[in-house]
Amino acid sequence: MAKPAPPCTLVIFGATGDLTRRLLMPAFYNLSRWSLLPEGFAIIGVGRSEITPDAMRADLTEAMRGFVADKGGELAEKGLDTEAWDRVVVRLDYVRGDVADVETYAEIGRRVAANGAGGGSALFYLAVAASLFGPIVKLIGEAGLAREEDGAFRRVIIEKPFGHDLDSARALNRDVLGVLSEKQVFRIDHFLGKETVQNIMAFRFGNGFFEPMWHRDRIDHVQITVAEAVGVEGRGVFYDATGAMRDMVPNHLFQLFTLIAMDPPISFAADAVRDKKEEVLASVRPLDEKAAVRDAVRAQYTAGSVGGKTVRDYRAEANVDPRSTTETYVALKLVIDNWRWAGVPFYLRTGKSMTRRDTEIAIQFKQAPLALFRETGMDEQVPNWLVLQIQPDEGISLQFGAKIPGPKVALDQVTMGFKYRDYFKVDPSTGYETLIYDAMVGDATLYQRADNIEGGWQVVQPVLDAWAALAAPMARYPAGSAGPKEADELLARDGRSWRPL
């Protein structure tokens, strides 16, 4: 059983924003239900809105009631556990202030000191626009709020996107590490908060059977898919300036990629795990200009329908440039130049407005060395897949060939499957619970280190450069499809095909 986190004050910049309402407050609620919040815990919301602390509490309580009542939602429950929620809400206060104003930080300092039971420890959560990460950290430093004294900790959680490209990520790391030491910085990637993502390590390193086959001798290739049914969902301003590559690939997809490709760490300590992830990124063969065009596909969705709902052309979405050249889909082939993976391609794809939501990692094993059954030619062999289904319907399955009953010897593909829900009762959660708890206890295993962030950008930067130079065409796919035909061609060139969604 996990113990309650140590006492501290949590300071949320961007307290009246969507992230706080939708994810952070529900996460505190769950931590409270699971008895993981310490006595001496306080939350200080910081924002520019003219609201009273009481109005803020009432507003967030209303929102929480809505989340638990939402039948299809991630937090659907019979009703709000008011006792658990009250424990959060009574500890919640609000500081109205501009994040560019030094006085705001002086006030925060006074509030942290006033929470005597918090022991002077503070965790700052930057739930604000990315352009404010650097400036806020700087002012935290100047106000003396980053100083760790008398055993108290001072830590900062930084949301994504961490940088817009390699140069800006490096600059942000430089700014942040000019104020804080690496162990005070917690760069979030919410994919690491997902149980099924964490389970990749448990599956690989907690079991003895697959690891001996986890390399180039036995694995043919790997496919990583993060297909989303949702479109830009009112985030046109952010999305059109960002695109699928920056939004998803160097962060979320690379979490899956590195967890699958990394070598066993010497322990599960934060740096041991992050060292191994870093090695993977550093061994990805750099894409030269030609490869950046050849091995990456970008595409935009056109009008179509997803789950019976009509979807407009991406360029007709609100706050999207009618001549936008922002991609809503990316497919990428990566090659890792190390002993484990030489010659094993990793194909990654992600897109908005696709057929359905489907996040999976599929590993295809090499075929049997010869076809024993005369009627079955080598090309008719059934591929052997290990599939880690991340969401929805979390589970792990093995797909292999079995004999079709009857006098003729012929094989068909069958599936052996494990579903989480058949074994574990999972409390409804946002995925932020573990991450916030870990930051409070100072465990950075599920957070990104500076070099992990830069390593991710380093891999995709040549593609971003090629696209910015308009050197690669923009493919199209109808909303509700599995992606553009150009992505199929990327695999067809290697004699392979994507798994159907």
Whole-number minimum distance, CB 222 to ligand BG6, in Å? 19
C-alpha span between 188 and 178 (Å, rounded): 19
Nearer to ligand BG6, 155 or 160 (CB): 160
Whole-number minimum distance, CB 137 to ligand BG6, in Å? 21
* Catalytic residue check, 252: yes
* CB neighbours of residue 342 within 10 Å: 13
Q: Is the peptide bond before 53 cis (omega within 30 degrees of 0)?
A: no
Nearer to ligand BG6, 8 or 260 (CB): 260
- Does 358 interact with ligand BG6 (rule: CB under 6 A)? no
Segments in 284-404 forming alpha helices (H): 289-294
Nearer to ligand BG6, 87 or 160 (CB): 160
Whole-number minimum distance, CB 160 to ligand BG6, in Å? 6
Whole-number minimum distance, CB 387 to ligand BG6, in Å? 17
The residue count of the chain comes to 501
C-alpha span between 482 and 429 (Å, rounded): 29
Catalytic residue among 164, 190, 215, 252: 252
* CB neighbours of residue 188 within 10 Å: 23
C-alpha span between 388 and 222 (Å, rounded): 11
How many chain residues interact with ligand BG6 (CB under 6 A)? 3
For CA atoms 177, 181, 186, 189, the dihedral sign is: positive
Task: Out of 159, 240, 247, 486, point to the residue binding ligand BG6 (CB under 6 A).
Answer: 247
Site for ligand BG6 in 23-62 (CB under 6 A): none
Whole-number minimum distance, CB 247 to ligand BG6, in Å? 5
* Residue whose beta carbon is closest to ligand BG6: 247
Tokens representing residue 489 in the block: 């061609």
Nearer to ligand BG6, 160 or 221 (CB): 160
Whole-number minimum distance, CB 446 to ligand BG6, in Å? 14
Site for ligand BG6 in 395-414 (CB under 6 A): none
Nearer to ligand BG6, 242 or 364 (CB): 242
Tokens representing residue 495 in the block: 């004699």
Binding string, 197-226, against ligand BG6, x = CB under 6 A?
------------------------------
C-alpha span between 347 and 360 (Å, rounded): 12
For CA atoms 155, 157, 162, 168, the dihedral sign is: negative
CA distances 233 to 104, 131, 237, Å, are 33, 22, 11
Question: Which residues 6+ apart lie within 8 Å of 419 measured at CB?
Answer: 393, 394, 395
Nearest CA to 136 out of 8, 246, 47 is that of: 47
Tokens representing residue 349 in the block: 């794809």
Binding string, 156-175, against ligand BG6, x = CB under 6 A?
----x---------------
Nearer to ligand BG6, 354 or 444 (CB): 354
Task: Out of 159, 228, 438, 486, point to the residue binding ligand BG6 (CB under 6 A).
Answer: 228
Residues that bind ligand BG6 (CB under 6 A): 160, 228, 247
Catalytic positions, written as ranges = 252
